[in-house]
Structure 1
Amino acid sequence: MVTAGWGAVFGRGLTGTIGVASLDDLETEAARMQAHEAYTSAFRKCQAVTNVDVFVSHNWGARRWVKFLAVCYFLNLSMAIKCTLASALFCATCKVLKAGSLAGLGGDPWIMPFVVYLPMSIFFIMFFFGQTITRGRWSPSLWIDKLCVLQTDESMKAKAVSAFPVFLARSSQMLVLWDDDYFDRMWCNLELATFTRFSSQCTQKIHFVPMWLAPWLLAFILMDLLSVSMLRFISNVISEPAVFSMMMASCNYFQADVLGIDSRDLNLLLVYVATCVAGCTPYYITAVPSVLAFLNKMRKHHSMLRQIVRFDVRAAKCALESDRQLVEKRIGELLGSRIGSSCNGNTLDNRQNLHNLSNLYSPASGLCSGGLRTTLMMAQNLDPLDCFNAYVRGPLMEAVLEKVGDSTHVPYRLCLVASLPMTLFSVVDLLSCSNERCQLSAGEVNLSLEGYMGSLASFWLLNDLMIYPIAQPLLFRMLSLICSAIQHSAARILLGLLGAVVLYTYIFVCSALLLSLMIISLRTLRSEWLAALLLLISVLAGQMWVAFRVSPARAGSRKMVSEIS
């Protein structure tokens, strides 16, 4: 119901229910009665429960589409991934069974549509409509004010608003749909404060989904799908006998006449490097939208973290200014007593006191809502609003950084999702033996059919898990360095494009080296080639550790607090 009508419930005002901002916008009494019945009917469709899985906190003024995408990301992403992988596995298995053997699909033109395009279509269908298709059977129960509060009955609405603490206390988790104005809205702050007061596990139960996250992920997946489609076309061209012979001749010339070396193994390595570098050409083309999407993501991400660091509940806005005292009083009642009291005689506007409080109220200290009130309020006589400010700037900031990272960080799992089309393409390449007959491909490198297929399978496994995922965090770090050194937007984009070209070339060269070293090592079993393969895998593992295992959360938090202070 929440995602029905492309997220119509998230329309501004009351548009999410029947398509008008309010009953006053309707001209006739009959139209107002019909609208009233529509509102009431939507409210009655909600189920009466004693507990709810997720309380959805959002800004009513945020755009409908971005909130719809954020909710789809939260509810349907995992389901979409599982359905995509399952459908790809099913289609690949059916193709293999029809061919009679694993090596019988070489050159089959239908592998790409069945193993890539069909599963990716299922991905987008399940991402947007998964909750609707499954009727919410595998989705958590949601509480959302637009549906669970009767918007047309003022007395019922007042009772529901007064019962917000009960709703939040009976919610297992909280989903925050963050936009640029979220922390500027007083009612959003009240919801966050209430959940914090009654939650037993603090920030661990808050799911923070920025509005830019889903559009960025979908854009990157589409760019990768487009690149993979062009890569398939290029691989078909390269596999043509005339083109492949010309490439072999060029590598032979470079090796014999330029390097002065006569080695079949080195020639094979050069051929694979040339083939993979030619294959990365599509990523040069899609680098333009990719870099723009990355720069926008970094800007939005940094804006989100900066807003949290500078958060002050007293500066938040109310649609009705008369609500301000009520909300501030409610926050004070939730977190403690004596609003307006001082912090050892000094307000927390003092940077040093704020820094000390943020350090004290950290996840490592084990303080939650109860600990905040008893330890900080009573021992140090702190203003409840200042305590709430410190909570947002401290542990909530740490939780956000832990879950979504700083502006240059992207989680490993998200990188795997973003490169899902390439993962499916690896299955296509494995089954089609680079669009050639498998026996011919194995014979060209003097390997048995089983050895060649095993090498190719091992290559794609390491490639999908260790090489392609690092492209995104490395590109983020590179763009971050460019943005810190250059202020002009056009220059940033130009340098970002040049950097992306270098990065994608490097990624594909790593792939070529991995594949060639694996095949040469298996064919020759010579110690120097085995050592080179192990060294390359060690380097790739080191890159993985730098890109994903070293958490930037605390370092990024301290750096950002220092910069803003």
Structure 2
Amino acid sequence: MARPASGGLHRLRRPDSFDEVRKSGLFRSSTPCHLLSRFAIVFQDTLEAFLLAGGVRTRFPTMQQVKLASESLFNASAETDAVDIFIGHSWGAGRWSKFLALCMYFNLGTAIKCACGSWLLVVTVLLGWGGVTILGGSYLAFPCLTYLPISCFFLAFLFAHQIMGETPSVWVDKLCIHQTNPDLKAKQVAALPVFVARSRRMLILWDDTYFERLWCNLELATCARFGGAEKVEVLPLWLAPWLLTSVLSQLFFVTLWRVLEQVFPNWGAAWLEGITDHVGMILGEKQMLVVAISSGMMLCILNLPISVPCFFSFRMKLRSHQLLLDQMAAFDVRNAKCTLPADRGPIEQQVRELFKDGDVLEDQEAKATGDVDAGEVRLQRFVGVNYFRDPLQSFNLYVRGTLRDSVIAQIGDELFVPWRTCLIAILPVIFYASASVLGCDGAPCETSIKLQGFVSVGQYMVTNCMVWALCIALVLPLTFPITLRTLKFAFSFGDGPLQHVAAFLCCVSASICNCLCSSFIGTLFYFVLVEYSVKKLLLFVVMLVGLIMQNAWLFCEHIQRQSRNEMSCRCIKRQAVYEAVGGSLPSA
């Protein structure tokens, strides 16, 4: 957050003084394209970066050049009555993490559409050109159906904001507050509560220093008072690196798989025969079980190289996510830091005015109840009015309770990963599935059909498509929540070297379970179609139901928790003040 040039603040504007602010031309907005230009260089807190953002290139700038850069940045913004997104962040976080987070926020949907669109275009052209068997054994299958869509994904992820038409307006301190005009800067900083109140949403780029900054807390308090928790959107800075690491890991996995297919066409079927002989010596004549375990072992071997980056990325996700929730649970605005000591008094006074008499919680409760019958209120826990005699404590309780619950509803707890996010993380595998099916496993289609025991191209294609669809929809997404749970279990015993080794082995074990499960469901489906029997069909149905139930437990639990948080209870009369954190009923 930008600061007044000197002397600190003497008075912050009230959020309802918008007319005065608008007439003064203090409220301005920018665009995602301007914000993310030069890879979001405005978030790099150095003079050199500031000059580059303002279009000035020099090693030894004069004061006139600094002012020129500041004017260039400020004039690129425009006067406005309201903005779509107020971006709150801490200058303690790095530039690149903010750049990736904002790219994910603004560009992820476009990136997915570009990847799927390019894949669909290539498939349509190739199938229209030579039919479904044209890519059998071709070197073009993998790069055209996997590398090309993933390349489009990354290009759109990083640069789509530059070509998008209508984009939301944003407010960011470095772009919307004049940096070299002390008087104008002081007026704009003092009007910060007005800017927050006139924003439709507040996007918090969270890092471990965000809740430690008093100015950030003022932004949050203002947004809570004039918009409620539903207006606040928290985007952790670890999320984008974790997602991109997962995508790249999966891309490496399918690349290794494809290299083996090109060097050794139908290597899977050929190696499977040798492994099956050894496994068969142990398990006897149980052909279906032998094939499932043998193919699962091959997948496990291919997954081993990506276990190391997956371990570190999942550990980062687990710890950072838990830290976010822990910070909110122990939040105390009095412990926040302030660069200028003179600013603390006006800022804390502003928070007191926002949360005086606990009316913000009553307002939020009124909004949250929605359409309810007379005498019906949303289920809450009560505390005595004495809790709110100190407005700062009211704000603390709001962050610890209502806001924290809202964040959990948005992104879940540290063990939760949305099913949609899991699918994005395995995009390379999804695209590779099409390359594997249409490329006939790296060999001419006639050869693959004969070697794998099929009788026609149609049977081969349909069977492989169904196997891949089952694995992608029901098996592969489970890797993420299961890995997080095994890591948390390992680290629950401590954080020493032995625990790290155990956690890494747990990560590998989760991958092995995933591979074996994929192999079993694929093998069962194959035998049901090729060598049908009631027993095999029953086993397949049982395993399918088990996978569906496991997905429902791991991915739908979050939705059920949201429903429970919004549950209403009849015949409970409204009493005193509601509190979203905890506590007991006031004593009589």
Q: Residue type of the partner of 1:17?
A: F
> Is 1:517 matched up with 2:547?
no
CA 1:503/1:18 → structure 2, altered by over 3 Å: closer, same or farther? Answer: same
Q: Which residue of 2 aligns with 1:248?
A: 273
Q: Deviations over 1:424-478 (max 9, x none)?
A: 1111111112223334433442443222211211111121111111101100000
1:232 to 242, 245, 258: 258
Identity %: 33
Q: Which residue of 2 aligns with 1:108?
A: 138
Q: Residue type of the partner of 2:521?
A: L
Q: Deviations over 1:168-188 (max 9, x none)?
A: 222111100111111111110
How many residues are aligned here? 520
> Is 1:176 matched up with 2:204?
yes
Query: 2-side partners of 1:215 and 1:52: how far apart?
Result: 28
Query: 1-side partners of 2:358 and 2:523: how far apart?
Result: 71
TM-score normalised by L of structure 1: 0.84
Query: 2-side partners of 1:272 and 1:381: how far apart?
Result: 62
Q: Which residue of 1 aligns with 2:322?
A: 302
* Residue ranges of structure 2 left out of the alignment (5+ in a row): 1-33, 372-377, 566-580, 584-588
Query: Aligned-pair RMSD on alpha carbons?
Result: 3.3
- Conservation of the 8 A alpha-carbon contact between 1:184 and 1:316: yes
| Secondary structure, aligned partner of 1:196 | helix
1:449 to 457, 461, 464: 457
- Conservation of the 8 A alpha-carbon contact between 2:212 and 2:336: yes
> Is 1:318 matched up with 2:338?
yes
Q: Deviations over 1:28-64 (max 9, x none)?
A: 7xx2112201211111111222221100011123211
Query: 1-side partners of 2:564 and 2:316: how far apart?
Result: 19
Q: Which residue of 2 aligns with 1:347?
A: none
Q: 1:530: how far off? A: 1.1
- Conservation of the 8 A alpha-carbon contact between 1:433 and 1:441: yes
Q: Which residue of 1 aligns with 2:95?
A: 64
CA 1:9/1:120 → structure 2, altered by over 3 Å: closer, same or farther? Answer: same
1:218 to 244, 256, 266: 244
**Which one has the bigger helix percentage?**
1
Q: Which residue of 1 aligns with 2:484?
A: 476
CA 1:239/1:267 → structure 2, altered by over 3 Å: closer, same or farther? Answer: farther
Q: 1:543: how far off? A: 1.7
| Secondary structure, aligned partner of 2:208 | coil
Q: Deviations over 1:392-422 (max 9, x none)?
A: 0001111111222222222222111111111
Q: Which residue of 2 aligns with 1:17?
A: 50
Q: 1:246: how far off? A: 5.9
Q: Which residue of 2 aligns with 1:191?
A: 219
| Secondary structure, aligned partner of 2:341 | coil
CA 1:411/1:40 → structure 2, altered by over 3 Å: closer, same or farther? Answer: same
Q: Residue type of the partner of 1:176?
A: I
| Secondary structure, aligned partner of 1:105 | coil
Q: Residue type of the partner of 1:2?
A: L
Q: 1:556: how far off? A: 14
- Conservation of the 8 A alpha-carbon contact between 1:176 and 1:206: yes
Matches within 5 A, 1:263-282: 267=287, 270-271=290-291, 273-282=293-302
Q: Which residue of 1 aligns with 2:174?
A: 146
> Is 1:465 matched up with 2:473?
yes
Q: Which residue of 1 aligns with 2:445?
A: 438
> Is 1:7 matched up with 2:37?
no
Q: 1:325: how far off? A: 0.8
Q: 1:244: how far off? A: 4.1
CA 1:517/1:410 → structure 2, altered by over 3 Å: closer, same or farther? Answer: same
Q: Residue type of the partner of 2:503?
A: G
Query: 1-side partners of 2:492 and 2:69: how far apart?
Result: 53
Matches within 5 A, 1:69-108: 69-98=100-129, 100-108=130-138
Query: 1-side partners of 2:173 and 2:329: how far apart?
Result: 28
- Bigger shift: 183-192 or 218-227? 218-227
Query: 2-side partners of 1:80 and 1:246: how far apart?
Result: 37
TM-score normalised by L of structure 2: 0.81
Query: 2-side partners of 1:253 and 1:95: how far apart?
Result: 41
- Conservation of the 8 A alpha-carbon contact between 2:126 and 2:134: no
- Conservation of the 8 A alpha-carbon contact between 2:84 and 2:168: yes
Query: 1-side partners of 2:47 and 2:223: how far apart?
Result: 25
- Bigger shift: 229-238 or 122-131? 229-238
| Secondary structure, aligned partner of 1:410 | coil
CA 1:245/1:125 → structure 2, altered by over 3 Å: closer, same or farther? Answer: closer
| Secondary structure, aligned partner of 2:79 | coil
- Conservation of the 8 A alpha-carbon contact between 1:332 and 1:338: no
Query: 2-side partners of 1:106 and 1:298: how far apart?
Result: 42
- Conservation of the 8 A alpha-carbon contact between 1:471 and 1:507: yes
- Bigger shift: 498-507 or 456-465? 498-507
Query: 1-side partners of 2:136 and 2:293: how far apart?
Result: 22
